[in-house]
Amino acid sequence: MHLVRFIHLLSGERLIGLGQEPRNGERMPEKGDYYGVLGVDKASSDTEIKRAFRSLARKHHPDKNPEDPEAETKFKEIQEAYAILSNPDERRKYDMFGHDRPGGSPFGSRGFQGVNISFDDLFGGGFESIFSQFFGDSTSRGSRGSDLLVRHSVPFQAAMDGMDDELEIDILRDCDGCGGSGSNSEGGARPCPSCDGRGRIDEISMVGPFRQRVRKECPPCRGSGRIVTDPCRVCKGEGRAYQAIRVKFSMHPGVVSGTRLRMRGQGEAASSHREQTGDLYIELQVEMHPWFERDGPDLLMALPLSYADLALGASVEIPHIDADKLRIKVPPGSKPGETITIMGRGLPRPKANSMRGSVTVVLKLEVPRKPTRSMRKRLNEMREEMEGELDDLEVRIKNEARSRRMG
């Protein structure tokens, strides 16, 4: 949020012309939820997703809508959603991270470019294998363990000082009871004969006149590469079991909400203990300060003052995040909504050891809700005295408008 919007919100004014939401037609396009694009939910099966794609692709195919300039864009959007959701690994990553996945788009820097699918292909079989080209031969790498995302709150002070922290989470790891083999005895597991212990099998499908090889998870061993005849009592033959893992990590000063720390090899173990363990991502959420709002390294706060403090000036000291008092000097004749900027007392700037942001103080007039009788009497006397010193009301209105428009 920009500083000017902070100031208007804290001063209680309605922001006009600055920071407003774009009007219809001006909003920057956002990538739609893949499940929403296909009209399915996250629990939908592969068959339901395939059926939804086929139906929508037929409906929006450019060949069927030659007069619709938006048909090609919609068709491409449907293709992109299906390309992700039809691939088990990519779907898992999307379910975990959404569009904000580590490493950026799986389609590279240029994004999804679409595939050439004829209208007739949508009535036959095998079209789904076309989409495997986007992710290379990723399935040949084996069943790598799943990446995990954990959201963790940290106190606001961490943004000032940084901090070391730790958390304990339950993660699927190689079973301690069987060492990851899944077997209760040394000879109770053998290589899967269907895939020769690889956990993957190759299937040949026809795409038009072409033969295409697709590598997929072996059904008999479910990708583990082994058949267990004497299952481990702890993990029931899975080779993995949940364990409480304590993870330690550090945050640098200036940390912001949304920062993701990558802990390599700290995610879930693979279904086959010979494969690579996934990664753990810790997404940090910095808690709110009791009175400061944050705009990067800059801080903003509202300072409620009486009319006397604004008219005569005041000096205020309040506790601050760097352990030194924050001294705010209010000049005489200050007006509500005016700001005072104190340089170098904000948060540390990332990658700038000695530089800190600023603190902006928005002055607010605090009016007593129930003034006492003696207070009302003095206020009436002051109002009568001031009316003799001030210009006519209409002149004051014009002067205020002129001053506001000029700057």
Question: What are the residue ranges spanned by the domains of the chain?
Answer: 30-136, 148-286, 290-367, 379-407
Residue 119 is predicted with a pLDDT of 52
* Tokens 């999804």 sit on residue: 112
> Residue 262's beta-bridge partner residues?
281
Per-residue pLDDT, 135:
52
- Residue 363 is predicted with a pLDDT of 95
Evaluate whether 148-286 and 290-367 have a shared fold: yes
If we measure between CA atoms, which residue out of 141, 39, 49 comes closest to residue 89? 141
What dotted CATH number matches 290-367? 2.60.260.20
pLDDT along the chain (407 residues), means of 10: 49 40 42 89 87 87 82 86 85 83 69 63 50 46 73 94 92 85 79 80 65 74 78 84 92 90 87 76 93 94 93 94 94 94 92 82 91 88 76 81 82
* 304-320 core/surface letters (b: 16 or more CB in 10 A; e: else): ebeeebbeeebeeeeeb
Angstrom distance (rounded) from CA 168 to CA 203: 42
For residue 156, the Cα-to-chain-centroid distance in whole angstroms is: 19
At 373 the three-state DSSP class reads helix
The CATH number of the domain covering residues in 30-136: 1.10.287.110
Strand 314-318 vs strand 163-174: parallel, antiparallel, or unpaired? Answer: unpaired
CATH of 148-286, one of 3.40.50.300, 3.30.390.30, 2.60.260.20, 2.40.30.10: 2.60.260.20
DSSP states along 81-100: HHHHHTSHHHHHHHHHHTTS
Q: Are strands 148-154 and 280-286 parallel, antiparallel or unpaired?
A: parallel
pLDDT value for 137 = 42
